[in-house]
Chains A and B, each alone.
Chain A
Amino acid sequence: MSRSWLLAGGMLVGAALAVFYIVRVPDTVEPTADAVAWVNDRPISRSSYANALQAVAGDRKSGTLREDDRERVLQRLIDQELLIDRAIELGLPERDPQIRNQLATAMIEFLVRRAEDEATAADEAALRAFYEENHFRFERSPQYRVALEGGEVPLPDGLLLAKELEQRLGPSAARKVAELEVGELAIIGEDGGRYTVRMLERRDGTLVPFNEARDAVEAAYLRDRSEAAVREFLEVARQHTDIRVEAQP
């Protein structure tokens, strides 16, 4: 008798195990108190509604809503859902290049925003470590005061950043001048357009102290984390996506 019951129990366990894998309970959208309306079982959130009302109020001179604004805004949000439904049904996200670009941009912005949110919580130590690893990004540019002899290139009488010098004299001449010590001369150009540049004063580039560069360090840190997040997403997506290139570019 006990053997029979044991076997019946085994049947029951086996059947239950099979049922567990044969059917599943569907994912249900939890009714939420946040919804102001439902369109095809999709909620229009109270926060979207509030934002839309705020935007309408902002457009009014008085800054307040009219009597029928609430109903009108709600109906507009429902219309928007219907239009989005139809756009998805028609496959516009797959076939309309403009929507595809907007989607790609929105996705990048989403990744950037999320990475920035995470990075904003970064502590001082992380920022300092970043600063230490990236000294070259927080150095003051070298500055030069030079005098021109025999040429027609207009040069202001004051200190010039390396980049400004490069813009006025050209890259190779600027490199040559940047190597001069105070008082030394460099001859620039050939035959007809030859001129002389004398170094009058030079201030070499210096590392900006962390406390002074903190805002710049934080901005660079956030930018780096955002770029890394987008890069990482694309790398992972490429690894897990079946990509087949049919034609050679």
Chain B
Amino acid sequence: MKRLALGVFFFGLLISTSASAHQKSVSYSKWTLLDDGAIAEVRVRWLELTSLPIESDAADAPIDGTMALPYLQSRLFLETDAGPCEAIPSSTILLPAARGWLRVEWRVRCNSPPTSLHSELFTSLTNHVHLATVLRPEPMDVVLSSTAPTAAIDSARKTRGAEGLRSYLRLGVEHILSGWDHLAFLLLLIVVARRLREVAVLVTGFTVGHSVTLAAAALGAVVPHARAVEATIAASILIVALENVGMEQVRGGAIVILGALVLFVASAAFGGLPAFWGLALFTFCYFTLLRTLHGTGRLRWVIACIFGFVHGLGFSGVLLEQELPRAQLVQALFGFNIGVELGQLAIVACIWPVLQWLRTRDLGTAVVGATSFAGAAVGTFALVVRVFG
């Protein structure tokens, strides 16, 4: 009963978040500072625009880019010591954009050099982040959110490297804290660890894995297939959840593992993701090896590292979206990765004492069972949504 209650609790906790790909609510802008103002180029998702109370001229007609402009220009602006710079609506140009995005450019007039950038875009979305690059002419990155809607961009000051780094560090922390799939994987990894040393090994394995691929993808050494990455992340949750309860050893466990394999094969054959042929083979061999070695957990660091590679590719998406100039990439990557690590450590620091406390109350096994049940359910659900949804 206790196990069931905990299971329902964790399941509810996880299922309340989106099972779709971990797409943070992000908008982007680039500001080219001129003598008398700036040129703003802004990218926002249509999905987020449609959530706004923007009314169309004709009933039932869909909103178009021009209707969203007053909102964007009034919520995103440069500021001088004398007040906000003024957008020039007649200068607005709708630019070609990727599917699902609105990309628009306008000029702003400032009476004196701008000192800060302010964003109140999509404040109703709790986790919305606005990433801006200000070209002064040397680039400077700022991350704006509802908790920090203003960033100083004083063009007279030259050294802003530390601020850009801080922005990305915060972005990294926010990214992992708002990424339920990364959190679920991390939780499932450490929930069976008995000693802090084991946690350190697992977290290090995960960190090494995701740092390598985050760097490789952000620096352009490899190009990730976004859908395959998101689906594999979901599969990683399912695999670790099955491993946590020693599914390969328990009676009837083979059928559950076979079910997972069937799902992977279906993803490859009918979901257009050939990567899952490899994942199915990997999973089959992994669980068979675990059964042979009679030791759940002996290969966990391998799993942490290997799936860390995939999670790192998932992390890279947010940096790649920003189309950073090459000169800024290393700084952004460094800050973002440190942010992800700090967020990760914060999570472990919060969860580990709770897990230890539950163990002292003889609830350790129940927690493992409940989290694994929830992890398997959510992993399967997310996988199906990401592959076939």
Contacts and interface: CB of A to CB of B under 8 A. Distances in A.
Interface in B212-234: 213, 216-217, 220-225, 228-229, 232
A9 B279 CA distance: 13
A-B interface, 7 closest residue pairs, ranked by CB to CB distance from nearest: A17-B278, A14-B282, A14-B281, A18-B278, A10-B285, A21-B275, A91-B96
Nearest to A6: B285
B104 to A, nearest CB: 11
Contacts of A94: 96
Contacts of A19: 275, 278, 309
Interface in B305-325: 306, 309-310, 313
A7 B93 contact: no
Contacts of B282: 10-11, 14-15, 18
Contacts of A8: 285, 289
Contacts of B220: 26
A25 interface: yes
B95 A91 contact: yes
Nearest to A27: B223
A4 B299 CA distance: 12
A4 B225 contact: no
28 contacts: A3-B292, A7-B288, A10-B284, A11-B282, A11-B289, A14-B278, A14-B279, A14-B285, A15-B306, A17-B281, A18-B275, A18-B277, A18-B282, A19-B278, A20-B275, A21-B274, A21-B278, A22-B224, A22-B228, A22-B313, A23-B216, A23-B223, A23-B313, A26-B221, A89-B95, A89-B96, A90-B93, A91-B95
Size category of the B interface is 35 or more
Interface in B247-295: 273-286, 288-289, 292-293
Size category of the A interface is 20 to 34
A37 B278 CA distance: 44
Contacts of A39: none
Contacts of B95: 89-91
A35 interface: no
A3 B280 CA distance: 18
A58 B206 CA distance: 65
A19 B223 CA distance: 11
A238 interface: no
Interface string A223-239: 00000000000000000
A24 interface: yes
A17 B216 CA distance: 18
B229 A4 contact: no
Contacts, number: 91
Contacts of B213: 23
Contacts of A18: 232, 275-279, 282
Given A19-B278, A25-B222, A7 B285 contact: yes
Nearest to A21: B275
B293 A21 contact: no
Contacts of B223: 23-26
Interface of A: 3-4, 7-11, 13-26, 89-91, 94
A175 B204 CA distance: 96
A4 B275 CA distance: 24
Contacts of A17: 275, 277-278, 281
A19 B229 CA distance: 10
- Greatest chain A CB density within 10 A among B229, B280, B285, B293 is at B285
A208 B238 CA distance: 81
B292 A24 contact: no
B186 to A, nearest CB: 20
Contacts of A14: 278-285
A25 B213 CA distance: 13
B281 A13 contact: yes
Nearest to A17: B278
A160 B144 CA distance: 86
Contacts of A16: 278
Contact of B292 (A7, A13, A15, A89): A7
A22 B227 CA distance: 9
Contact of B278 (A3, A4, A7, A20): A20
- Greatest chain B CB density within 10 A among A3, A22, A94 is at A22
B272 to A, nearest CB: 10
A11 B284 CA distance: 8
A121 to B, nearest CB: 39
Contacts of B222: 23-26
Nearest to A16: B278
Contacts of A13: 278, 281
Contact of A4 (B216, B277, B289, B309): B289
Contact of A10 (B216, B274, B279, B281): B281
Given A10-B281, A18-B275, 18 more contacts: A4-B293, A7-B286, A7-B289, A11-B285, A14-B279, A14-B283, A15-B282, A15-B306, A16-B278, A20-B275, A21-B273, A22-B224, A22-B228, A22-B232, A22-B313, A23-B224, A26-B222, A91-B95
- Greatest chain B CB density within 10 A among A4, A15, A20 is at A15
B278 A23 contact: no
B99 to A, nearest CB: 14
Contacts of B306: 15
Nearest to B289: A7
Interface in B21-56: none
Contacts of B225: 21-24
B212 to A, nearest CB: 12
Nearest to A26: B223
Contacts of B275: 17-22
A149 to B, nearest CB: 73
Nearest to B232: A22
Contacts of A21: 225, 228, 273-275, 278
A4 B291 CA distance: 10
